[in-house]
Amino acid sequence: MMDTQRIMIIEDDEPTREILSLIFKRWGWEVFSAGTMAQGLSLLEATPTPSCLLLDLDLPDGEGETILRRVRRDRLPVRVAVCSGTGDPDRWSVVQDLDPDALLQKPIDLADVCMALAG
């Protein structure tokens, strides 16, 4: 029997977060979601390590890259897809140096998300 896949969605746009959560739940995934950096960091501490993390870069109380730094620092075995609407190449470069598994430009395409998280 396969283990249940877990995904953590950290996205400040509530409709996007809710739709993605619903889709992944229907696919049989266990879903954890947060709308802020603080909530996301708390989830990482309080829940089982997710298989995948869908991470918004621009959060109302900080930057998603802070969460990515924590994931990489703690060597968590998590595939990370970073999503952002930024067009700033310097910002993308900083994030890319943190070795995300995927960088996705918003608006995100569900097929791109699935490919990025599938490995």
Q: For the residues 28-57, what does the mean pLDDT come to?
A: 95
Domains, the chain, ordered by start: 6-118 (3.40.50.2300)
Give Cα separations from 8 to 1, 88, 90 (angstroms): 22, 25, 26
- Kindly report the pTM of this predicted structure: 0.91
Indicate whether 105 pLDDT > 80.
Answer: yes
Kind of pairing between the strands at 58-59 and 62-63: antiparallel
Cα–Cα dist 112/114, whole Å:
5
Reported as a pLDDT band with limits 50, 70 and 90, residue 1 is very low
Q: Which two tokens stand for residue 15?
A: 């409709």
Q: How many CB atoms lie within 10 A of CB 9?
A: 26
